């Protein structure tokens, strides 16, 4: 209960900060584009395909959602299949264009702070060991993870058309793994999923989570 209350207090504080930030004085010319569709460039090499959508709310605040298709990639990891979702506002600060008299103004350009709520759910294969018979067998397990992530990043806009987004984050999270077989997994057969959740990485010893990525996007009207 204390953990839940703490998370709710953090979320309330973030929402209040965003509201005050969006109401602060700032004059900017209208942006041509108000949305971006992106692809996590390296995601197909890590067992998933991640797409994201960013929408302008004000001239300093946007809302971004990420959808990851686990198992849709160039590599296959233990027949893992599932999805993950990320959602949260972006607060842009210290934008490059303000140093050049607004010549390169764009709502999606500059350094930003991005709190996110994350859910990851997927199934995967693992080796089960029967200590009575000494036999190994293939079994299926499911993983469900939730996390609150605080991301920092910078996004560039090229020719008012292409976005390049570099970001990294740290936060709090937890996971629940359900093994279908009552027999314990063979040593090492599921170790990667104690830390790797496709949407983020999780420390097996303390409830800290980490993420990083590089996205390429297309600006749209």
| Integer Cα distance of 76 and 66 in angstroms | 21
pLDDT at 95: 62
Judge contact between 15 and 188, C-beta under 8 A.
no
pLDDT at 119: 97
Closest by CA to 114, choosing from 197, 26, 52, is 52
Residues 6+ away with beta carbon under 8 Å from 188: none
pLDDT at 117: 97
| Dihedral pair phi/psi, residue 108, rounded to 5° | -105, 15
Residue 120 burial class via C-beta count within 10 angstroms: exposed 0-12, middle 13-18, buried 19 and up: buried
pLDDT at 35: 93
Q: How many structural domains comprise the chain?
A: 1
State pLDDT tens for residues 25-75: 444 455 567 899 999 999 999 999 999 999 999 878 999 999 999 999 888
Each residue's pLDDT, cut to its tens digit, for the chain (221 residues) gives: 444 444 444 454 455 445 444 444 444 455 567 899 999 999 999 999 999 999 999 878 999 999 999 999 888 777 889 999 999 999 998 666 555 554 556 788 899 999 999 999 999 887 776 666 666 677 888 999 999 999 999 999 998 899 999 999 999 999 998 887 666 565 555 567 778 899 999 887 888 999 999 999 999 98
Enclosing domain of residue 56: 2-220
Q: What is the CATH number of the domain that holds 203?
A: 2.40.160
pLDDT at 83: 97
160 dihedral zone (left: phi>0; alpha: psi -120 to 50; beta): left
pLDDT at 206: 84
Q: Could you tell me the two tokens for 17?
A: 């900060």
pLDDT at 97: 57
């Amino acid at each position: 209960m204390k953990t839940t209350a703490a998370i709710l207090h953090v979320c309330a504080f973030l929402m209040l900060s965003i509201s005050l930030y969006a109401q602060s004085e700032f004059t900017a010319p209208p942006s041509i584009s108000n949305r971006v569709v992106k692809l996590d460039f390296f995601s197909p090499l890590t067992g998933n395909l991640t797409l994201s959508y960013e929408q302008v709310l004000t001239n300093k605040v946007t809302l971004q959602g990420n959808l990851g298709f686990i198992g849709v990639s160039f590599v296959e990891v233990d027949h893992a299949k599932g999805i993950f979702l990320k959602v949260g506002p972006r607060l842009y600060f210290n934008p490059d264009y303000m140093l050049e008299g607004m010549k390169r103004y764009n709502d999606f350009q500059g350094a930003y702070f991005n709190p996110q709520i994350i859910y990851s759910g997927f199934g995967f294969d693992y080796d089960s060991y029967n200590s009575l018979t000494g036999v190994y067998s293939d079994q299926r397990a499911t993983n469900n993870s939730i996390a609150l992530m605080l991301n920092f990043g910078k996004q560039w806009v090229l020719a008012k058309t292409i976005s390049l987004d570099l970001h990294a984050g740290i936060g709090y999270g937890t996971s629940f793994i359900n093994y279908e077989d009552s027999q314990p997994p063979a040593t090492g057969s599921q170790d990667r999923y104690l830390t790797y959740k496709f949407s983020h990485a999780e420390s097996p010893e303390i409830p800290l989570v980490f993420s990083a990525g590089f996205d390429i996007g297309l600006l749209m009207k």
